[in-house]
């Protein structure tokens, strides 16, 4: 389940969510009308502002507009809330920074829905007879935009499982929700008028359809389980087909600690390094070998099973709804960008960029060079130890890159702002958006673990790097 949050108490639950197209449209249309009035008022007031005062007023306005949008999406839940979360990924390329920040926060505030609202969905999907084989706890252990999870016991065996139930009406509302959200973004004027966001919303719709398909998620879970069956570093929950359907997914309950928990943070440097290495190994294997990537890196989707003996800590991998296959050609072209960045070969970077479609043949050389500056910086942790240009304090005496004190995200952001503001740089295709979502999550995990790793050798067999 993407981006789950544990409800703090039963009082935080919603009785229901608005599932009908009409009532959801009414809620968002009212907000759009209100936004129009506020835009007019803001525009008038800005006539009397100058310089920094005007800039600050604009930032405050966009933040407030985005906050009101996020609040309403949070109340509606379902596909429109998930679309808002995903929009924050695309939005970094065309929305004000303040709006992206607020939309991204949607993942952190998700109240659960009452059992009386989700129970009919469960009965319709599995039938009374099958449900009678389970003892299901009415209070959910996690809630997200598309559904929530309930702990249960298989009566015949005593096994503890998690039943993930999609909210009623979510899948049916996707098309209406996407259309309404696109109109709302236009009404709030958070995106540039001249920018055609139709392709973005088409991609959001496709992703939502996939994440609402629990049959596909079950298949992806089974695939990852098979692929990782011989790797003791990972645990993939067992699937219980008898208790699965299009809108219901039941897997074994696999407890563990969050990467950011005090228990994990208290582990020795060596143990944290082993966990961090496993996170990187998994991503590299998914992308280059399997060409199948779980693109939602939220901490709730990865739990740490601490070994009391201190020998074999494990990573529990959860929620495969956001899994994406990647075409071999895309992987090969992306590899060119990474290889060119590590070797500081601008021609190879440009070749990969053009093949993927980030830019085209008419892109000025100066823009391609700016992109090269950016990608060469991004691959910093994968360079050979003590490479020129990498701050010396980010290496241990043995040449491991220190993720804890690294300010790489800030330096990447500054470089992107300086180099990539160009009409020639397109909104990236969805493959790039969701791949970078996972890469960003891996880097955040390594920083949270305060990892010290030598990663250059990891990429050599995939990129055919020289010694």
The pLDDT confidence band at residue 78, using thresholds 50, 70 and 90, is: low
- Tokens standing for 382? 């994968």
How is the chain split into domains, by residue range? 10-110+170-209, 258-467
Contacts of 417 (CB under 8 A, 6+ apart): none
Tokens representing 317?
Answer: 């991998």
The whole-model pTM stands at: 0.80
The tokens describing 325, both together, are: 């296959």
Per-residue pLDDT tens for 316-371? 999 898 899 999 999 999 999 999 999 999 999 999 988 988 777 888 888 888 88
Question: pLDDT, tens digit, for every residue of 203-242?
Answer: 788 888 888 999 999 999 999 999 999 999 999 999 999 9
What is the C-alpha to C-alpha distance for residues 189 and 324, in angstroms, rounded to an integer? 31
On whether the CB atoms of residues 273 and 453 are closer than 8 A, the answer is yes
Whether the predicted pLDDT of 382 surpasses 90: yes
| Residues 317, 237: Cα–Cα separation, whole Å | 8
3-state secondary structure of 163: strand
What ranges in 77-111 are assigned the alpha helix state H? 78-91, 97-104
Tokens of 61: 């306005």
Q: How far apart are CA 46 and CA 49, in angstroms?
A: 5
- Distance of alpha carbon 79 from the chain centroid: 15
Backbone φ and ψ of 250, nearest 5°:
-120, 125
């Amino acid at each position: 389940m993407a981006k789950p949050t544990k409800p703090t108490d039963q009082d935080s639950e919603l009785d229901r969510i608005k599932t009908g197209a009409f009532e959801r449209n009414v809620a968002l249309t009212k907000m759009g009308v209100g936004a129009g009035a506020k835009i007019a008022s803001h525009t008038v007031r800005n006539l009397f502002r100058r310089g920094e005062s005007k800039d600050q007023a604009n930032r405050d306005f966009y933040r407030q507009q985005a906050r009101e949008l996020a609040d309403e999406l949070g109340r509606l839940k379902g596909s429109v809330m998930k679309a808002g979360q995903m929009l924050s990924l695309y939005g970094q390329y065309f929305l004000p920074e303040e709006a992206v920040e607020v939309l991204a926060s949607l993942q952190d505030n998700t109240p659960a829905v009452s059992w009386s609202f989700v129970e009919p969905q469960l009965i319709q999907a599995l039938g009374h007879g099958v449900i009678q084989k389970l003892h299901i706890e009415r209070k959910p252990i996690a809630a997200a935009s598309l559904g929530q999870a309930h702990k249960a016991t298989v009566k015949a065996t005593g096994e503890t499982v998690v039943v993930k139930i999609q909210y009623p009406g979510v899948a049916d509302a996707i098309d209406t929700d996407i259309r309404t959200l696109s109109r709302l973004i236009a009404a709030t004027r958070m995106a540039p008028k001249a920018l055609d966001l139709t392709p973005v919303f088409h991609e959001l719709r496709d992703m939502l359809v996939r994440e609402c398909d629990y049959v596909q998620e079950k298949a992806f879970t089974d695939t990852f389980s098979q692929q990782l069956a011989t790797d003791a570093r990972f645990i993939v929950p067992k699937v219980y087909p008898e208790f699965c359907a299009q809108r219901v997914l039941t897997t074994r309950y696999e407890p563990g600690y969050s990467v950011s928990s005090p228990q994990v943070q208290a582990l020795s440097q060596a143990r944290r390094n082993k966990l961090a290495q496993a996170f990187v190994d998994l991503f590299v294997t998914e992308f280059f070998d399997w060409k199948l990537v779980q693109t939602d890196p939220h901490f709730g989707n990865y739990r740490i099973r601490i070994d009391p003996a201190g020998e074999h800590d494990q990573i529990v991998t959860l929620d495969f709804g956001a899994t994406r296959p990647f075409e071999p050609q895309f992987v090969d072209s992306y590899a060119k960008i990474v290889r060119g960045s590590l070797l500081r070969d601008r021609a190879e970077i440009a070749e990969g960029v053009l093949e993927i479609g980030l830019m085209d043949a008419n892109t000025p050389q100066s823009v391609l060079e700016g992109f090269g500056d950016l990608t060469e910086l991004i691959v910093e942790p994968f360079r050979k130890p003590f490479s020129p240009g990498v701050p010396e304090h980010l290496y241990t005496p043995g040449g491991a890159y220190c993720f804890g004190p690294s300010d790489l995200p800030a330096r990447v952001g500054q470089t992107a702002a300086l180099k990539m503001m160009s009409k020639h740089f397109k909104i990236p295709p969805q493959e790039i958006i969701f791949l970078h979502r996972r890469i960003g999550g891996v880097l955040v995990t390594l920083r949270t673990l305060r990892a010290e790793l030598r990663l250059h050798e990891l990429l050599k067999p995939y990129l055919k790097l020289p010694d």
